[in-house]
Chains A and B, each alone.
Chain A
């Protein structure tokens, strides 16, 4: 039985079951609000532009944001423990640069992918170790990680490097047909596979529950004898790994490596996680909510593309506005609970 099924607890005899049920449901309120927001935006879009209401428009939200979904997954783990990872955008760019360069030199695609994953995971692990063992704030450590990764990009090359290797171009063009003339890219399946694994890990393994416990009360988690240290380190390693995967997916999508790519993508990832209902103080949130958060960001972009009169910068303003609304909502919830 998954914890999600506790949404409707069995009727109880003793003290105020109604209150308990209500508060239990309140856990899902931010995420449900996001789902509602998404549906409303889709409905409004459909009302305004007839072609909006098509399966492919919906699927394109996934196809265009595979990398962001994967990033948001890693970021969800980190934020659930009460941390933050500002390095993800730069690690995406580094992964793209490394793969583009090595592929150009004739490396085998498989070897490149393995190496990139090792680099991403390794960087994350290193940051996690420093955060845990030297007790330095995550934001400053991951900021340094961001400098390092971005700097290494520049060291590799300042120019955009095209990717012409067969496997990568194949992945870029591949379409997996669904019913009718609908299709998705292989990247979408990979991203959703990662989401499914993350969901399983968070809700059905002791590691996942420890992540939540740390975010709820790190001191308590330690006193309960949970492996707090290793979990916190691993969470940053996971985020680094996810960034590397996102970098590879972004390479499939853009077929190039460029040092300036993925600028500010860490902000998009954080925004998606927060809009998806995860508390920035940690302990509460769902990886599926983060996916919906990415879709909301995606639909904002689609809207602006459809409208034609609205300029691209409205995306940033709307995201900032949504971020604000959800942060204020979180404060409100926190105050009520306190």
Chain B
């Protein structure tokens, strides 16, 4: 495909948000009749690039050419008019309308000003037949179909539009194996008919199965464009996380950690067996002993956060069981988990952690206050003591209990959220990306704190996308891949490379 003109060509694209450069000088090409994967960790700029191409965001600088025409999209409508169609993970169709309406919404054939429903029906049947989906009733409501079928209907919509470019953003996240196969059949079929397909997925194996080429992004910058067959899983992962192979091999390992408590005979604080939730994760067997740090390793989107949420009752598990201190328990809500002395720091500080308009003090005592109920207010004197104690212990700055938490830096916000749980004296603390987006000083402090807490007997589930960090603090590492737990490694001198080999698994 040397001299062929690309269907989509994006050059030197930059998009910035207040305080962040989401994309910086990124080039991207998409050719006719190929499946092209866009790879990178969360925050690498994948979705920003897609939104630039679909007209949801307007680019700050750079150029977009579609089918040789320079374009500058400012609405999704303009992008669609240029022949670009997108299918999102959460299926952006209207559940309250029928299949045929969704396929033709906004472009219904009309006769004398009135929508020609007969024609709508026949055109829908035609396009469904083309994709071998003729078992779908065009007159049925979209909401009566599974997510997988809805996704196929969304694809049918783009085929009907006669899209030259089809973007599939995390289409397989909530599909089972059969459904993925059906989707891939349709994708290959479209590719063979000359559609240019941009595929985004967190599932490595799927990417290798379906794509011809990939473009890797990291931190809003382009890493490179590669033919899938030329790029091993190992080198792909190292490009995504930004460590080259030599550096990885040389990386000095943290000393192996062994602690008491995890020995034979002891009862784990918490033990999950076959834990799972439909459309989320499945088959998690994991035990955490008192005084032990268990790390969850895996690429972003592999299912780490989902596991944490099941342990905390933020989502309800629908399969498997959980034992706390040897006794079978159902954890139906965060409240129930907290009553069993479990705490959870979410990876999404802003949306799921901070109460932005309240003070450091209010945020710090919130979980403790919630346990006591509204009527029994923690006396101001006790609050002051607790807050002062933790501001000092965790070095929270500014050391002002009455500062609004939204005005603190990320690292200090994170420390307040940690303190929110520490004051409740949990026996299990789940930390999801506790060091993401915070400065190096705060990061080291938090890692040290984790060590100290475990030494004092707390169980900790530690999640981070930085493998070095996971290895530095964990006694054991559970490896998560493609929404399931694939291995459990005792951290006795394990290297980052070893873990990556497990994640890459099947690379040979």
Please report the C-alpha to C-alpha distance between residue A227 and residue B78 in the assembled complex, in whole angstroms.
12
Whether B108 pairs with A209 at a CB distance below 8 angstroms is yes
By size class, the interface of chain B is: 35 or more
Whether B143 pairs with A337 at a CB distance below 8 angstroms is yes
B 91-110 binary contact with A (CB < 8 Å = 1; else 0): 01111111001000110101
CB nearest neighbor in A for B91: A220
Please report the C-alpha to C-alpha distance between residue A90 and residue B95 in the assembled complex, in whole angstroms.
35
Among B54, B81, B92, B137, max chain A CB count under 10 A is at B137
CB nearest neighbor in A for B120: A1
Whether B76 pairs with A223 at a CB distance below 8 angstroms is yes
Tell whether B118 is near chain A: CB-to-CB under 8 Å.
Answer: yes
Tell whether A311 is near chain B: CB-to-CB under 8 Å.
Answer: no
Please report the C-alpha to C-alpha distance between residue A24 and residue B138 in the assembled complex, in whole angstroms.
11
Whether B117 pairs with A12 at a CB distance below 8 angstroms is no
Q: Which of A3, A204, A215 contacts B114 (CB 8 A)?
A: A204
Please report the C-alpha to C-alpha distance between residue A6 and residue B92 in the assembled complex, in whole angstroms.
23
Give the residues in chain B near A212, CB-CB below 8 Å: 94, 96-97
Tell whether B86 is near chain A: CB-to-CB under 8 Å.
Answer: yes
Smallest CB–CB gap between B117 and chain A, Å? 4
Whether A27 pairs with B105 at a CB distance below 8 angstroms is no
CB nearest neighbor in B for A281: B96
Report how many residues on chain A are interfacial, defined by Cβ distance under 8 Å.
Answer: 41
Q: Which of A15, A20, A223, A227 contacts B92 (CB 8 A)?
A: A223
Whether B141 pairs with A23 at a CB distance below 8 angstroms is yes
Please report the C-alpha to C-alpha distance between residue A160 and residue B91 in the assembled complex, in whole angstroms.
56
Give the residues in chain A near B114, CB-CB below 8 Å: 200, 204-205
Whether B135 pairs with A225 at a CB distance below 8 angstroms is no
Whether B94 pairs with A20 at a CB distance below 8 angstroms is no
Whether B92 pairs with A219 at a CB distance below 8 angstroms is yes
Whether B139 pairs with A9 at a CB distance below 8 angstroms is yes
Whether A225 pairs with B77 at a CB distance below 8 angstroms is yes
Whether B105 pairs with A215 at a CB distance below 8 angstroms is no
Q: Which of B56, B94, B95, B115 contacts A205 (CB 8 A)?
A: B115
Give the residues in chain B near A200, CB-CB below 8 Å: 114
CB nearest neighbor in A for B144: A23
Q: A6-B139, A23-B144, A213-B97 are in contact. Are A224 and B106 (CB under 8 A)?
A: yes
Give the residues in chain B near A24, CB-CB below 8 Å: 98, 139-141, 144
Give the residues in chain A near B95, CB-CB below 8 Å: 216-217
Whether A3 pairs with B101 at a CB distance below 8 angstroms is yes
Give the residues in chain B near A3, CB-CB below 8 Å: 98, 101, 117, 139
Give the residues in chain B near A209, CB-CB below 8 Å: 97, 101, 105-106, 108, 115
9 A-B pairs with least C-beta separation: A14-B135, A216-B94, A225-B77, A6-B139, A216-B96, A283-B96, A220-B92, A1-B117, A23-B144
Binding site for A on B (CB under 8 A): 54, 56, 75-77, 79-81, 86, 88, 92-98, 101, 105-106, 108, 110, 113-115, 117-118, 121, 135-137, 139-141, 143-144, 157
- New A-B pairs, 5, CB < 8 Å, besides A27-B141, A204-B117, A210-B106: A15-B135, A19-B144, A206-B110, A209-B108, A283-B94
In the assembled complex, 19 residue pairs joining A and B whose CB atoms fall closer than 8 Å, in A order, are: A1-B117, A23-B141, A24-B98, A24-B140, A204-B117, A205-B113, A206-B110, A209-B106, A216-B94, A217-B95, A217-B96, A220-B92, A220-B94, A222-B76, A224-B80, A225-B80, A226-B106, A283-B96, A284-B96
